[in-house]
Structure 1
Amino acid sequence: MARDKNLFKLLVNRMLDRLADVPVGTALGSEGELAASLEASRTTVRAVLTHLAEAGILSWEGRQKLLLRAPRPEDRFDAEETQPRSGLVEEPFLNWVLQGDLPPGTTINEAELARRLGVPVATVREFLIRFEPLGLIEKRPNRSWILKGFTRDFAEEMFAVRDMFERRALTGLLAACAAPGPTRARLEHLHAAHLRLAAGPDAALAGFPALDAEFHQLLCAAANNRFISDFSRTISIIVHFHYRWNKRDELRRNRAAVAEHLAVIEAVLAGDSATATDALDAHLATAYRTLMASVIWSDG
Protein backbone atom coordinates (compact mmCIF):
# COMPACT_ATOMS: atom_id res chain seq x y z
CA MET A 1 0.00 0.00 0.00
CA ALA A 2 2.92 2.38 0.66
CA ARG A 3 3.94 2.19 -2.96
CA ASP A 4 0.36 2.86 -4.12
CA LYS A 5 0.04 5.89 -1.86
CA ASN A 6 3.35 7.30 -3.02
CA LEU A 7 2.45 6.72 -6.66
CA PHE A 8 -0.90 8.44 -6.11
CA LYS A 9 0.80 11.48 -4.58
CA LEU A 10 3.38 11.56 -7.37
CA LEU A 11 0.61 11.56 -9.97
CA VAL A 12 -1.28 14.32 -8.14
CA ASN A 13 1.84 16.49 -8.38
CA ARG A 14 2.32 15.52 -12.01
CA MET A 15 -1.30 16.46 -12.79
CA LEU A 16 -0.84 19.80 -11.01
CA ASP A 17 2.21 20.46 -13.20
CA ARG A 18 0.09 19.88 -16.30
CA LEU A 19 -2.64 22.20 -15.02
CA ALA A 20 -0.26 25.03 -14.12
CA ASP A 21 -0.58 26.79 -17.48
CA VAL A 22 -4.16 25.76 -18.30
CA PRO A 23 -6.67 28.64 -18.27
CA VAL A 24 -9.39 28.44 -15.61
CA GLY A 25 -12.61 27.09 -17.12
CA THR A 26 -10.85 24.78 -19.57
CA ALA A 27 -12.41 21.37 -20.11
CA LEU A 28 -9.95 18.60 -19.40
CA GLY A 29 -9.51 15.48 -21.50
CA SER A 30 -11.11 12.09 -21.11
CA GLU A 31 -9.96 9.65 -18.45
CA GLY A 32 -8.21 7.66 -21.16
CA GLU A 33 -6.33 10.72 -22.41
CA LEU A 34 -5.33 11.72 -18.88
CA ALA A 35 -4.21 8.17 -18.11
CA ALA A 36 -1.98 8.19 -21.20
CA SER A 37 -0.59 11.61 -20.30
CA LEU A 38 0.23 10.58 -16.73
CA GLU A 39 1.37 7.07 -17.71
CA ALA A 40 -1.05 5.61 -15.17
CA SER A 41 -4.09 3.35 -15.02
CA ARG A 42 -7.59 4.79 -15.33
CA THR A 43 -8.31 3.65 -11.78
CA THR A 44 -5.42 5.70 -10.44
CA VAL A 45 -6.39 8.68 -12.60
CA ARG A 46 -9.92 8.57 -11.14
CA ALA A 47 -8.41 8.71 -7.65
CA VAL A 48 -6.33 11.73 -8.68
CA LEU A 49 -9.37 13.48 -10.17
CA THR A 50 -11.41 12.79 -7.04
CA HIS A 51 -8.66 14.29 -4.88
CA LEU A 52 -8.42 17.42 -7.05
CA ALA A 53 -12.20 17.81 -7.11
CA GLU A 54 -12.34 17.58 -3.31
CA ALA A 55 -9.63 20.26 -3.14
CA GLY A 56 -11.76 22.55 -5.31
CA ILE A 57 -9.25 22.60 -8.15
CA LEU A 58 -11.64 21.09 -10.70
CA SER A 59 -15.24 20.01 -11.06
CA TRP A 60 -16.08 16.52 -12.26
CA GLU A 61 -19.56 15.54 -13.31
CA GLY A 62 -19.88 12.52 -15.55
CA ARG A 63 -17.53 12.98 -18.47
CA GLN A 64 -17.19 16.72 -17.97
CA LYS A 65 -14.15 17.92 -16.06
CA LEU A 66 -13.50 21.66 -15.76
CA LEU A 67 -10.59 23.49 -14.16
CA LEU A 68 -12.00 25.76 -11.44
CA ARG A 69 -8.83 27.43 -10.19
CA ALA A 70 -5.09 27.47 -10.76
CA PRO A 71 -3.02 25.06 -8.63
CA ARG A 72 -1.26 26.57 -5.62
CA PRO A 73 2.00 25.44 -3.98
CA GLU A 74 0.13 24.10 -0.97
CA ASP A 75 -1.81 21.72 -3.24
CA ARG A 76 1.34 19.69 -3.86
CA PHE A 77 2.68 16.79 -1.82
CA ASP A 78 6.22 17.03 -0.49
CA ALA A 79 8.91 15.32 -2.58
CA GLU A 80 9.62 12.67 0.07
CA GLU A 81 5.96 11.62 -0.01
CA THR A 82 6.10 10.93 -3.75
CA GLN A 83 9.21 8.78 -3.82
CA PRO A 84 8.52 5.21 -5.01
CA ARG A 85 9.65 2.40 -2.73
CA SER A 86 12.50 1.53 -5.09
CA GLY A 87 13.83 5.04 -4.52
CA LEU A 88 14.23 4.22 -0.83
CA VAL A 89 16.70 1.51 -1.84
CA GLU A 90 18.46 2.91 -4.90
CA GLU A 91 20.60 5.71 -3.50
CA PRO A 92 21.72 4.04 -0.22
CA PHE A 93 22.36 0.75 -2.03
CA LEU A 94 24.47 2.36 -4.76
CA ASN A 95 26.37 4.48 -2.26
CA TRP A 96 27.14 1.34 -0.25
CA VAL A 97 28.35 -0.47 -3.36
CA LEU A 98 30.44 2.48 -4.50
CA GLN A 99 32.01 3.27 -1.14
CA GLY A 100 32.71 -0.37 -0.40
CA ASP A 101 34.45 -1.04 -3.76
CA LEU A 102 32.69 -4.40 -3.95
CA PRO A 103 34.38 -6.70 -6.49
CA PRO A 104 32.63 -8.92 -9.06
CA GLY A 105 31.39 -12.10 -7.44
CA THR A 106 30.27 -10.38 -4.25
CA THR A 107 27.19 -12.08 -2.76
CA ILE A 108 24.27 -9.93 -1.64
CA ASN A 109 21.66 -11.43 0.68
CA GLU A 110 18.20 -9.87 0.44
CA ALA A 111 17.45 -10.02 4.16
CA GLU A 112 20.84 -8.61 5.17
CA LEU A 113 20.54 -5.78 2.65
CA ALA A 114 17.00 -4.99 3.82
CA ARG A 115 18.26 -4.68 7.41
CA ARG A 116 21.15 -2.49 6.31
CA LEU A 117 18.84 -0.12 4.40
CA GLY A 118 15.91 -0.28 6.83
CA VAL A 119 13.32 -1.32 4.23
CA PRO A 120 11.16 -4.43 3.70
CA VAL A 121 12.77 -7.44 2.03
CA ALA A 122 10.16 -7.24 -0.74
CA THR A 123 11.32 -3.72 -1.60
CA VAL A 124 14.92 -4.89 -1.91
CA ARG A 125 13.83 -7.82 -4.10
CA GLU A 126 11.85 -5.54 -6.43
CA PHE A 127 14.89 -3.29 -6.79
CA LEU A 128 17.30 -6.12 -7.57
CA ILE A 129 14.95 -7.87 -10.00
CA ARG A 130 14.88 -4.71 -12.08
CA PHE A 131 18.56 -5.12 -12.96
CA GLU A 132 18.74 -8.87 -13.50
CA PRO A 133 17.79 -8.77 -17.22
CA LEU A 134 20.68 -6.36 -17.85
CA GLY A 135 23.23 -8.96 -16.79
CA LEU A 136 24.75 -6.82 -14.03
CA ILE A 137 23.52 -9.08 -11.24
CA GLU A 138 22.41 -12.70 -11.13
CA LYS A 139 19.85 -14.38 -8.87
CA ARG A 140 21.07 -17.31 -6.78
CA PRO A 141 19.19 -19.70 -4.46
CA ASN A 142 18.28 -18.75 -0.90
CA ARG A 143 17.41 -15.14 -1.72
CA SER A 144 20.94 -14.13 -2.61
CA TRP A 145 22.38 -12.30 -5.60
CA ILE A 146 25.81 -12.11 -7.24
CA LEU A 147 27.31 -8.85 -8.51
CA LYS A 148 28.69 -9.57 -11.97
CA GLY A 149 31.21 -7.87 -14.23
CA PHE A 150 30.67 -4.98 -16.63
CA THR A 151 31.84 -5.97 -20.12
CA ARG A 152 32.85 -3.91 -23.15
CA ASP A 153 30.03 -5.50 -25.16
CA PHE A 154 27.53 -4.39 -22.52
CA ALA A 155 28.85 -0.81 -22.65
CA GLU A 156 28.73 -0.73 -26.46
CA GLU A 157 25.11 -1.92 -26.49
CA MET A 158 24.13 0.47 -23.72
CA PHE A 159 25.55 3.51 -25.51
CA ALA A 160 24.01 2.55 -28.84
CA VAL A 161 20.59 2.67 -27.20
CA ARG A 162 21.43 5.81 -25.26
CA ASP A 163 22.34 7.65 -28.47
CA MET A 164 19.04 6.74 -30.12
CA PHE A 165 16.90 7.60 -27.12
CA GLU A 166 18.52 10.90 -26.12
CA ARG A 167 18.73 12.27 -29.65
CA ARG A 168 15.02 11.55 -30.05
CA ALA A 169 14.25 13.06 -26.64
CA LEU A 170 16.08 16.32 -27.50
CA THR A 171 13.37 17.20 -30.01
CA GLY A 172 10.76 16.87 -27.26
CA LEU A 173 12.83 18.95 -24.84
CA LEU A 174 13.20 21.77 -27.38
CA ALA A 175 9.45 21.77 -27.96
CA ALA A 176 8.62 21.66 -24.24
CA CYS A 177 10.95 24.57 -23.50
CA ALA A 178 9.75 26.79 -26.34
CA ALA A 179 7.28 28.44 -23.95
CA PRO A 180 7.03 28.89 -20.16
CA GLY A 181 5.98 25.75 -18.33
CA PRO A 182 7.13 23.08 -15.84
CA THR A 183 9.79 21.59 -18.14
CA ARG A 184 11.38 24.94 -18.95
CA ALA A 185 11.28 25.88 -15.26
CA ARG A 186 13.09 22.65 -14.34
CA LEU A 187 15.69 23.22 -17.05
CA GLU A 188 16.28 26.78 -15.82
CA HIS A 189 16.76 25.37 -12.32
CA LEU A 190 19.29 22.88 -13.71
CA HIS A 191 21.05 25.69 -15.55
CA ALA A 192 21.52 27.61 -12.31
CA ALA A 193 22.72 24.48 -10.50
CA HIS A 194 25.27 23.76 -13.24
CA LEU A 195 26.55 27.35 -13.12
CA ARG A 196 27.06 27.07 -9.36
CA LEU A 197 28.96 23.81 -9.81
CA ALA A 198 31.09 25.22 -12.61
CA ALA A 199 32.06 28.24 -10.50
CA GLY A 200 32.57 26.27 -7.31
CA PRO A 201 35.55 24.40 -5.86
CA ASP A 202 36.59 20.92 -6.92
CA ALA A 203 35.12 19.46 -3.73
CA ALA A 204 31.63 20.47 -4.88
CA LEU A 205 31.98 18.25 -7.96
CA ALA A 206 31.19 15.26 -5.78
CA GLY A 207 27.58 16.30 -6.27
CA PHE A 208 27.78 16.03 -10.04
CA PRO A 209 26.44 12.45 -10.42
CA ALA A 210 23.07 13.44 -8.94
CA LEU A 211 22.92 16.56 -11.14
CA ASP A 212 23.89 14.52 -14.19
CA ALA A 213 21.12 12.02 -13.46
CA GLU A 214 18.58 14.85 -13.11
CA PHE A 215 19.65 16.41 -16.42
CA HIS A 216 19.47 13.17 -18.41
CA GLN A 217 16.19 12.15 -16.78
CA LEU A 218 14.62 15.50 -17.69
CA LEU A 219 15.92 15.11 -21.24
CA CYS A 220 14.53 11.59 -21.57
CA ALA A 221 11.22 12.52 -19.93
CA ALA A 222 10.68 15.04 -22.74
CA ALA A 223 10.30 12.11 -25.14
CA ASN A 224 7.02 11.24 -23.37
CA ASN A 225 7.95 7.57 -23.56
CA ARG A 226 7.95 5.47 -20.38
CA PHE A 227 10.57 3.06 -21.75
CA ILE A 228 12.99 5.87 -22.53
CA SER A 229 12.45 7.40 -19.07
CA ASP A 230 13.09 4.09 -17.33
CA PHE A 231 16.21 3.53 -19.43
CA SER A 232 17.59 6.91 -18.35
CA ARG A 233 17.41 5.87 -14.70
CA THR A 234 19.29 2.67 -15.50
CA ILE A 235 21.97 4.63 -17.35
CA SER A 236 22.48 6.86 -14.31
CA ILE A 237 23.03 3.85 -12.11
CA ILE A 238 25.44 2.17 -14.49
CA VAL A 239 27.53 5.22 -15.32
CA HIS A 240 27.84 6.91 -11.93
CA PHE A 241 27.43 4.20 -9.33
CA HIS A 242 28.91 1.14 -10.98
CA TYR A 243 31.04 -0.73 -8.47
CA ARG A 244 34.02 -0.99 -10.84
CA TRP A 245 34.19 2.65 -11.88
CA ASN A 246 37.80 3.88 -11.84
CA LYS A 247 37.94 7.20 -9.94
CA ARG A 248 41.14 8.36 -11.63
CA ASP A 249 40.61 11.80 -13.26
CA GLU A 250 37.06 11.89 -11.84
CA LEU A 251 37.18 15.63 -11.08
CA ARG A 252 38.43 16.50 -14.56
CA ARG A 253 35.74 14.33 -16.17
CA ASN A 254 32.99 15.86 -14.05
CA ARG A 255 34.08 19.45 -14.71
CA ALA A 256 34.17 18.78 -18.46
CA ALA A 257 30.72 17.18 -18.32
CA VAL A 258 29.30 20.20 -16.48
CA ALA A 259 30.50 22.45 -19.31
CA GLU A 260 29.00 20.12 -21.93
CA HIS A 261 25.66 20.04 -20.10
CA LEU A 262 25.64 23.83 -19.99
CA ALA A 263 26.17 23.97 -23.76
CA VAL A 264 23.11 21.77 -24.31
CA ILE A 265 20.95 23.53 -21.73
CA GLU A 266 21.73 27.05 -22.96
CA ALA A 267 21.05 26.10 -26.58
CA VAL A 268 17.71 24.53 -25.63
CA LEU A 269 16.66 27.55 -23.57
CA ALA A 270 17.60 29.77 -26.54
CA GLY A 271 15.56 27.58 -28.88
CA ASP A 272 18.64 26.87 -31.02
CA SER A 273 17.97 23.36 -32.31
CA ALA A 274 21.14 23.00 -34.40
CA THR A 275 23.47 24.09 -31.61
CA ALA A 276 21.65 21.93 -29.07
CA THR A 277 21.98 18.89 -31.35
CA ASP A 278 25.69 19.48 -31.90
CA ALA A 279 26.25 20.00 -28.17
CA LEU A 280 24.40 16.81 -27.26
CA ASP A 281 26.31 14.83 -29.89
CA ALA A 282 29.58 16.11 -28.43
CA HIS A 283 28.50 15.25 -24.89
CA LEU A 284 27.45 11.72 -25.81
CA ALA A 285 30.73 11.16 -27.64
CA THR A 286 32.71 12.34 -24.61
CA ALA A 287 30.65 10.19 -22.24
CA TYR A 288 31.34 7.15 -24.39
CA ARG A 289 35.08 7.79 -24.59
CA THR A 290 35.50 8.47 -20.88
CA LEU A 291 33.57 5.37 -19.86
CA MET A 292 35.50 3.10 -22.20
CA ALA A 293 38.80 4.57 -21.01
CA SER A 294 38.01 4.69 -17.30
CA VAL A 295 36.32 1.40 -16.44
CA ILE A 296 38.45 -1.52 -15.27
CA TRP A 297 36.96 -4.11 -17.60
CA SER A 298 36.03 -7.54 -16.33
CA ASP A 299 36.69 -9.11 -19.75
CA GLY A 300 40.35 -8.26 -20.00
Structure 2
Amino acid sequence: MPTSEKHAAGLKDAVQDAIRDRVFSGQLPPGTRLVERQLAQELDVSRVPVREALRALEREGLVEERPTRGMVVRQLSPDDLETLYQVRSALEEILCRRLVGTLDEQGLDRLQAVVDRTAAAIDAGDSEAAVEANASFHEALVDEAGSRVLASVIEPVAGQIKWLLSQHTDAGTMNAEHQLIVAALRERDADRAIEACRQHLVSSRAEASRMPS
Protein backbone atom coordinates (compact mmCIF):
# COMPACT_ATOMS: atom_id res chain seq x y z
CA MET A 1 0.00 0.00 0.00
CA PRO A 2 1.41 3.42 -0.88
CA THR A 3 2.63 5.56 2.00
CA SER A 4 -0.09 8.16 1.39
CA GLU A 5 -2.80 5.49 1.72
CA LYS A 6 -1.23 4.18 4.92
CA HIS A 7 -1.21 7.71 6.29
CA ALA A 8 -4.88 8.22 5.36
CA ALA A 9 -5.87 4.91 6.99
CA GLY A 10 -3.90 5.77 10.13
CA LEU A 11 -5.49 9.21 10.33
CA LYS A 12 -8.99 7.74 9.97
CA ASP A 13 -8.26 5.27 12.77
CA ALA A 14 -6.93 8.04 15.02
CA VAL A 15 -10.03 10.16 14.43
CA GLN A 16 -12.26 7.13 15.00
CA ASP A 17 -10.51 6.42 18.31
CA ALA A 18 -10.82 10.06 19.39
CA ILE A 19 -14.56 10.20 18.70
CA ARG A 20 -15.13 6.79 20.29
CA ASP A 21 -13.28 7.92 23.43
CA ARG A 22 -15.54 10.97 23.66
CA VAL A 23 -18.61 8.74 23.44
CA PHE A 24 -17.27 6.36 26.10
CA SER A 25 -16.35 9.23 28.45
CA GLY A 26 -19.79 10.81 28.16
CA GLN A 27 -18.41 13.93 26.49
CA LEU A 28 -20.67 13.02 23.56
CA PRO A 29 -23.81 11.59 25.20
CA PRO A 30 -26.57 9.69 23.33
CA GLY A 31 -28.48 11.90 20.92
CA THR A 32 -25.60 14.33 20.34
CA ARG A 33 -25.42 15.53 16.74
CA LEU A 34 -22.03 14.83 15.17
CA VAL A 35 -21.17 17.66 12.77
CA GLU A 36 -18.29 16.82 10.44
CA ARG A 37 -17.06 20.41 10.18
CA GLN A 38 -17.06 20.93 13.93
CA LEU A 39 -15.30 17.63 14.67
CA ALA A 40 -12.72 18.33 11.96
CA GLN A 41 -11.93 21.70 13.56
CA GLU A 42 -11.70 20.22 17.06
CA LEU A 43 -9.42 17.38 15.93
CA ASP A 44 -7.43 19.58 13.52
CA VAL A 45 -8.04 17.35 10.49
CA SER A 46 -9.95 17.60 7.23
CA ARG A 47 -13.56 16.46 6.96
CA VAL A 48 -12.63 13.35 4.93
CA PRO A 49 -11.18 11.26 7.82
CA VAL A 50 -14.03 12.46 10.05
CA ARG A 51 -16.60 11.25 7.52
CA GLU A 52 -14.83 7.90 7.20
CA ALA A 53 -14.52 7.55 10.98
CA LEU A 54 -18.22 8.24 11.50
CA ARG A 55 -19.14 5.55 8.96
CA ALA A 56 -16.89 3.09 10.77
CA LEU A 57 -18.47 4.00 14.13
CA GLU A 58 -21.89 3.55 12.53
CA ARG A 59 -20.88 -0.03 11.67
CA GLU A 60 -19.82 -0.49 15.31
CA GLY A 61 -23.30 0.59 16.39
CA LEU A 62 -22.13 3.64 18.34
CA VAL A 63 -23.59 6.26 15.99
CA GLU A 64 -26.50 6.32 13.58
CA GLU A 65 -27.71 8.47 10.73
CA ARG A 66 -31.08 10.17 11.13
CA PRO A 67 -32.93 11.70 8.17
CA THR A 68 -33.30 15.16 9.64
CA ARG A 69 -30.24 15.41 11.90
CA GLY A 70 -27.44 13.55 10.17
CA MET A 71 -25.07 11.48 12.31
CA VAL A 72 -25.85 11.32 16.04
CA VAL A 73 -24.58 9.28 18.98
CA ARG A 74 -26.87 6.30 19.15
CA GLN A 75 -29.37 5.85 21.96
CA LEU A 76 -29.83 2.14 22.54
CA SER A 77 -33.45 1.05 22.86
CA PRO A 78 -34.61 -1.36 25.60
CA ASP A 79 -34.67 -4.10 22.98
CA ASP A 80 -31.13 -3.19 21.89
CA LEU A 81 -29.96 -3.44 25.49
CA GLU A 82 -31.70 -6.76 26.08
CA THR A 83 -30.24 -8.29 22.93
CA LEU A 84 -26.77 -6.92 23.62
CA TYR A 85 -26.76 -8.41 27.12
CA GLN A 86 -27.99 -11.75 25.81
CA VAL A 87 -25.13 -11.76 23.30
CA ARG A 88 -22.64 -10.75 25.97
CA SER A 89 -23.87 -13.46 28.35
CA ALA A 90 -23.59 -16.18 25.71
CA LEU A 91 -20.13 -15.07 24.64
CA GLU A 92 -18.83 -14.81 28.19
CA GLU A 93 -19.94 -18.37 28.96
CA ILE A 94 -17.94 -19.56 25.95
CA LEU A 95 -15.01 -17.39 27.05
CA CYS A 96 -15.02 -18.73 30.60
CA ARG A 97 -15.09 -22.36 29.53
CA ARG A 98 -12.23 -21.75 27.11
CA LEU A 99 -10.17 -19.76 29.61
CA VAL A 100 -10.47 -22.43 32.31
CA GLY A 101 -8.87 -24.89 29.92
CA THR A 102 -6.22 -22.67 28.34
CA LEU A 103 -5.30 -19.80 30.68
CA ASP A 104 -1.81 -20.14 32.17
CA GLU A 105 -0.38 -18.44 35.26
CA GLN A 106 1.02 -15.55 33.22
CA GLY A 107 -2.41 -14.94 31.72
CA LEU A 108 -4.02 -15.03 35.14
CA ASP A 109 -1.44 -12.56 36.40
CA ARG A 110 -2.22 -10.22 33.48
CA LEU A 111 -5.93 -10.31 34.36
CA GLN A 112 -5.08 -9.68 38.01
CA ALA A 113 -2.94 -6.72 36.93
CA VAL A 114 -6.02 -5.11 35.35
CA VAL A 115 -7.92 -5.57 38.62
CA ASP A 116 -4.99 -4.14 40.59
CA ARG A 117 -4.68 -1.18 38.23
CA THR A 118 -8.36 -0.38 38.76
CA ALA A 119 -7.97 -0.63 42.53
CA ALA A 120 -5.00 1.75 42.41
CA ALA A 121 -7.01 4.27 40.37
CA ILE A 122 -9.89 4.04 42.87
CA ASP A 123 -7.48 4.59 45.79
CA ALA A 124 -6.02 7.59 43.98
CA GLY A 125 -9.48 9.05 43.43
CA ASP A 126 -9.13 8.89 39.66
CA SER A 127 -12.62 7.78 38.70
CA GLU A 128 -12.07 8.21 34.95
CA ALA A 129 -9.01 5.92 34.98
CA ALA A 130 -10.88 3.41 37.16
CA VAL A 131 -13.83 3.23 34.76
CA GLU A 132 -11.49 2.86 31.78
CA ALA A 133 -9.49 0.10 33.48
CA ASN A 134 -12.69 -1.70 34.42
CA ALA A 135 -13.92 -1.58 30.84
CA SER A 136 -10.58 -2.97 29.61
CA PHE A 137 -11.00 -6.10 31.77
CA HIS A 138 -13.41 -7.67 29.29
CA GLU A 139 -11.05 -6.88 26.42
CA ALA A 140 -8.32 -8.64 28.40
CA LEU A 141 -10.53 -11.72 28.76
CA VAL A 142 -10.90 -11.90 24.99
CA ASP A 143 -7.18 -11.38 24.45
CA GLU A 144 -6.27 -14.13 26.90
CA ALA A 145 -8.66 -16.57 25.23
CA GLY A 146 -6.36 -16.47 22.22
CA SER A 147 -9.08 -17.36 19.73
CA ARG A 148 -9.32 -15.55 16.42
CA VAL A 149 -12.81 -16.94 15.93
CA LEU A 150 -14.07 -15.58 19.26
CA ALA A 151 -12.34 -12.25 18.68
CA SER A 152 -13.91 -11.90 15.23
CA VAL A 153 -17.37 -12.74 16.60
CA ILE A 154 -17.04 -10.31 19.50
CA GLU A 155 -15.46 -7.46 17.51
CA PRO A 156 -18.69 -6.14 15.89
CA VAL A 157 -20.33 -5.60 19.31
CA ALA A 158 -17.19 -4.85 21.35
CA GLY A 159 -17.60 -1.09 21.04
CA GLN A 160 -21.21 -1.13 22.24
CA ILE A 161 -20.34 -3.45 25.14
CA LYS A 162 -17.42 -1.29 26.23
CA TRP A 163 -19.63 1.80 26.03
CA LEU A 164 -22.23 0.13 28.23
CA LEU A 165 -19.59 -0.96 30.73
CA SER A 166 -18.28 2.60 30.90
CA GLN A 167 -21.73 3.66 32.20
CA HIS A 168 -21.16 1.56 35.33
CA THR A 169 -20.09 4.38 37.64
CA ASP A 170 -19.58 2.27 40.77
CA ALA A 171 -16.01 1.31 39.92
CA GLY A 172 -15.41 -0.39 43.28
CA THR A 173 -18.33 -2.80 42.91
CA MET A 174 -17.43 -3.53 39.31
CA ASN A 175 -13.81 -4.24 40.20
CA ALA A 176 -14.83 -6.52 43.07
CA GLU A 177 -16.94 -8.50 40.57
CA HIS A 178 -13.95 -8.75 38.25
CA GLN A 179 -11.87 -10.07 41.14
CA LEU A 180 -14.42 -12.86 41.68
CA ILE A 181 -14.13 -13.82 38.00
CA VAL A 182 -10.34 -13.96 38.21
CA ALA A 183 -10.50 -16.02 41.41
CA ALA A 184 -12.84 -18.56 39.79
CA LEU A 185 -10.62 -18.81 36.73
CA ARG A 186 -7.57 -19.31 38.94
CA GLU A 187 -9.38 -22.22 40.59
CA ARG A 188 -10.24 -23.62 37.15
CA ASP A 189 -13.90 -23.56 38.14
CA ALA A 190 -15.83 -22.87 34.93
CA ASP A 191 -19.27 -22.95 36.55
CA ARG A 192 -18.25 -20.47 39.25
CA ALA A 193 -16.62 -18.20 36.67
CA ILE A 194 -19.78 -18.27 34.54
CA GLU A 195 -21.92 -17.50 37.59
CA ALA A 196 -19.62 -14.62 38.54
CA CYS A 197 -19.98 -13.26 35.00
CA ARG A 198 -23.76 -13.68 35.22
CA GLN A 199 -23.95 -11.73 38.48
CA HIS A 200 -21.70 -9.08 36.96
CA LEU A 201 -24.11 -8.89 34.02
CA VAL A 202 -27.06 -8.34 36.38
CA SER A 203 -25.17 -5.48 38.04
CA SER A 204 -24.24 -3.91 34.69
CA ARG A 205 -27.82 -4.14 33.45
CA ALA A 206 -29.08 -2.40 36.57
CA GLU A 207 -26.65 0.46 35.92
CA ALA A 208 -27.66 0.67 32.24
CA SER A 209 -31.33 0.86 33.20
CA ARG A 210 -30.56 4.06 35.12
CA MET A 211 -29.06 5.73 32.06
CA PRO A 212 -31.09 8.69 30.76
CA SER A 213 -33.22 7.92 27.70
Category of TM-score, reference length = shorter chain: 0.7 to 0.9
Separation in 2 of the partners of 1:147 and 1:288?
20
Higher mean C-alpha displacement, 281-290 vs 219-228: 219-228
- Matched with 2:177 is 260
How far off its partner does 1:174 sit? 2.3
Q: Would the aligned equivalents of 1:197 and 1:204 in 2 still touch at CA under 8 Å?
A: no
Q: Does 1:215 align with 2:137?
A: yes
Q: Bigger radius of gyration, 1 or 2? A: 1
Tell me which amino acid in the other structure corresponds to 1:262: Q
- Matched with 1:224 is 148
Q: Would the aligned equivalents of 1:220 and 1:232 in 2 still touch at CA under 8 Å?
A: no
- Matched with 1:172 is 98
Q: Does 1:205 align with 2:132?
A: no
Separation in 2 of the partners of 1:290 and 1:164?
20
Tell me which amino acid in the other structure corresponds to 1:270: E
Tell me which amino acid in the other structure corresponds to 1:274: D
Q: Would the aligned equivalents of 1:86 and 1:126 in 2 still touch at CA under 8 Å?
A: yes
- Matched with 2:109 is 188
Structure 1 length-normalised TM:
0.56
The 1:103–1:283 alpha-carbon spacing in structure 2 relative to 1, beyond 3 Å, is closer
- Matched with 1:296 is 212
- Matched with 1:125 is 51
Is the partner of 2:188 in helix, strand or coil? coil
Q: Does 1:138 align with 2:71?
A: no
Of 135, 138, 161, which residue of structure 2 is paired with 1:235? 161
How far off its partner does 1:141 sit? 8.8
Is the partner of 2:148 in helix, strand or coil? coil
RMSD between aligned residues? 3.4
Structure 2 length-normalised TM:
0.75
Where relative contact order (Cα < 8 A, 6+ residues apart) is larger, the structure is: 2
Q: Would the aligned equivalents of 1:165 and 1:220 in 2 still touch at CA under 8 Å?
A: no
Separation in 1 of the partners of 2:18 and 2:30?
18
Q: Does 1:283 align with 2:200?
A: yes
User: Structure 1, unaligned stretches of length 5 or more?
Assistant: 7-82
Higher helix share: 2
- Matched with 1:54 is none
- Matched with 1:110 is 36
Q: Would the aligned equivalents of 1:3 and 1:84 in 2 still touch at CA under 8 Å?
A: no
User: Structure 2, unaligned stretches of length 5 or more?
Assistant: none
Q: Would the aligned equivalents of 1:267 and 1:273 in 2 still touch at CA under 8 Å?
A: yes
Is the partner of 2:71 in helix, strand or coil? strand
Separation in 1 of the partners of 2:47 and 2:98?
38
Q: Would the aligned equivalents of 1:213 and 1:233 in 2 still touch at CA under 8 Å?
A: no
The 1:89–1:212 alpha-carbon spacing in structure 2 relative to 1, beyond 3 Å, is farther
Q: Percent identity?
A: 22
The 1:195–1:84 alpha-carbon spacing in structure 2 relative to 1, beyond 3 Å, is same
Is the partner of 1:108 in helix, strand or coil? coil
The 1:174–1:85 alpha-carbon spacing in structure 2 relative to 1, beyond 3 Å, is farther
Separation in 2 of the partners of 1:229 and 1:268?
23
Is the partner of 2:212 in helix, strand or coil? coil
The 1:100–1:108 alpha-carbon spacing in structure 2 relative to 1, beyond 3 Å, is same
> How many residues align structurally?
204
Separation in 2 of the partners of 1:266 and 1:3?
48
Q: What are the Cα deviations for residues 175-197 of structure 1, in whole angstroms up to 9, with x where unaligned?
A: 331x356xx1xx42331242343
The 1:171–1:89 alpha-carbon spacing in structure 2 relative to 1, beyond 3 Å, is farther
Is the partner of 1:203 in helix, strand or coil? coil
